[in-house]
Amino acid sequence: MRQRHHQGGDRGWTAARKGVLSRLRFTSLRLRLVVVFGLVALTAAVSASGIAYWLNREAVLTRAQDAVLHDFEQEMQNRAGALPEHPTQDELQHTAGQMAGSDQRFSVLLVASNADGRTVYGSSGGLSGFSLQDVPVSLRTAVNKRQKVDGADKHPYHLYWQRVVDHDTPYLVAGTRVIGGGPTGYMLKSLEPEAKDLNSLSWSLGIATGLALIGSALLAQAAATTVLKPVQRLGAAARRLGEGKLDTRLRVSGTDELADLSRTFNKAAEALEKRVADMAARDEASRRFVADMSHELRTPLTAITAVTEVLEEELEAETGSMDPMIEPAVRLVVSETRRLNDLVENLMEVTRFDAGTARLVLDDVDIADQITACIDARAWLDAVELDADRGIHARLDPRRLDVILANLIGNALKHGGSPVRVSVREADDSLVIEVQDHGPGIPEDVLPHVFDRFYKASASRPRSEGSGLGLSIALENAHIHGGEITAANSPDSGAVFTLRLPRHTSGPGEQPAEGERKPGDDTGQDRGADSKGDA
């Protein structure tokens, strides 16, 4: 029972150790270095200690054994050999006591036959001392076995020995017979002093192994610190570089591999900084060009728009003053002028978003009223179904919400067909507006690009009625509110655009920048920028 309990404790300790190791298993380079150094040092120390212990053990036991056997053999020749062929028990007892008094202090047992043919025994320890039962049977058999006498072996009997353990104490047992006739002698010598010496040696070697292991751990820690400090600095520099601090550089010292790595990092960071600066300059120049072009176009476009409005009024008046031959051309001019005006306004809106100058003018808005106003202003009442309860309020920018709704609903009417369903619901502290049409849906390869600027799904039909910016502007207006727009296909039919806005937008309550006008509603925006063609 005690043995089983000990084994269970070992299993529990092993399981706990495995649990700790599983959490620490090679989680850092420092730990790996310490473990590797420790394993190398432990292997070397255990190997060296094992070899040293084995060599010293054999040397100590062999030296003690040879001294005892030599002394026992001399005593057998000098004292046991002097006994008569058939000694008495008293003679055996006396001789055994004399033999045990040698320098080695071993116990002696003499066995012989007296004159009557009976076996008599003589022990150095008396009747309770060393007895024949203490001698292993195999040793007794070897001692009493007569060997064949030939040129290589001139004696029929030899000295034999064996190491035994009795009650955790090691002993040396030996036996031989007197050559030429005489008693058989057995010797018992305790090896406990040698065992204590070897035990002390093992403890010393164990302590040396432990010190070597501790030293290796300290050495590994020092090596890991030396190696990992540059790596940690490199990691911190890479993080700063990832955060946009492109002027980050490492201090280079030395000529080793880590120094080469630092120099390579500095060169890469320098090249990246230059490349980003060039790209930023080109991007800024592009934005400036678009902004300047848009502003420059507004002046002549204003005059052109005024003229086209007059022409449009003449067309609607039906007074007959307009030549029927040029009426189609006038209608085309009016349509294209309106489209050009929308494009310029959208480009200006995009440049404001890119420059970060777009601002929110927040107000408390009834969502149902806002959607109704958007639909009514564009004469979409017959084509749009509204599912929105009145009384749902949110703090938003009404103008930008109108832009979002106009682009989403107009896009659904153009590409999905009526009826378009607009539904509003509340989700936690957010507002969800869904615009669903009943068309064939959006192609899967176009779906990821529906919010890209100027994206054309078909290269063969690059021109469409829309500017290709409507959905992109709608998404930017959602982002400035802290919201999002997603596009998907309904399991039933058609596409679904989902607008999510926070009900309480926190933004700067500033008036729009000077010259900012409400951009034209890009209701002609092609889904996916021409994914489904023009009517």
Over residues 430-472, the pLDDT tens digits come to: 889 999 988 888 888 888 888 887 776 544 444 445 567 788 8
What tokens were used for 528?
């996916």
Comparing 48-62, 78-92, 293-307, the range with the smallest average pLDDT is 293-307
Averaging pLDDT over each range in 223-232, 234-243, 513-522, which range is the top one? 234-243
pLDDT of residue 27: 56
State the DSSP string of 86-97. Answer: S--HHHHHHHHH
Question: What pLDDT digit, counting tens, does each position of 271-285 carry?
Answer: 988 988 888 888 777
- Asked whether residue 352 carries a pLDDT value surpassing 50, the answer given is yes
pLDDT of residue 16: 55
Which residues lie closer than 8 Å to 419 by C-beta, 6 or more apart? Answer: 383, 384, 385, 438
Count the residues in the chain: 535
What tokens were used for 218?
């300290």
Report, as an integer, the average pLDDT of 290-308: 73
Which one, of 278, 279, 482, lies nearest residue 395 by Cα? 482
Question: What pLDDT digit, counting tens, does each position of 206-227 carry?
Answer: 888 888 878 877 877 777 777 7
pLDDT of residue 151: 63
What tokens were used for 399?
């103008």
How far apart, in whole angstroms, are the C-alpha atoms of residue 429 and residue 431? 7
- Name the band, by pLDDT with cuts 50, 70 and 90, for residue 290: low
Strand partners of residue 108? 187
Count of Cβ atoms closer than 10 Å to residue 94 Cβ: 16
- Asked whether residue 364 carries a pLDDT value surpassing 80, the answer given is yes
Question: What pLDDT digit, counting tens, does each position of 21-71 carry?
Answer: 444 444 566 777 777 777 887 788 788 888 887 887 778 778 888 888 888
How far apart, in whole angstroms, are the C-alpha atoms of residue 444 and residue 65? 92
16, 8 in Cβ contact below 8 A?
no
> 527, exposed or middle or buried, with CB in 10 Å at 0-12, 13-18, 19+?
buried
How far apart, in whole angstroms, are the C-alpha atoms of residue 478 and residue 468? 17
Q: Which CATH class is domain 360-458+467-502?
A: alpha beta
- Asked whether residue 476 carries a pLDDT value surpassing 80, the answer given is yes
CATH architecture of 29-200: 2-Layer Sandwich (3.30)
Question: What pLDDT digit, counting tens, does each position of 144-174 carry?
Answer: 887 777 766 667 778 888 888 888 888 889 9
pLDDT of residue 484: 92
Domain layout of the chain by residue ranges:
29-200, 360-458+467-502
Q: What is the mean pLDDT of the chain?
A: 77
Q: Residues 56, 60, 65, CA angle at the centre, nearest 5°?
A: 145
Averaging pLDDT over each range in 134-143, 342-351, 455-464, which range is the top one? 134-143
Which residues lie closer than 8 Å to 403 by C-beta, 6 or more apart? Answer: 473, 474, 477, 518, 519, 521
- What CA–CA distances, in Å, run from 189 to 70, 95, 442? 13, 17, 100
Helix boundaries (H) for 137-243: 137-144, 192-242
- Asked whether residue 300 carries a pLDDT value surpassing 50, the answer given is yes
- Name the band, by pLDDT with cuts 50, 70 and 90, for residue 122: confident
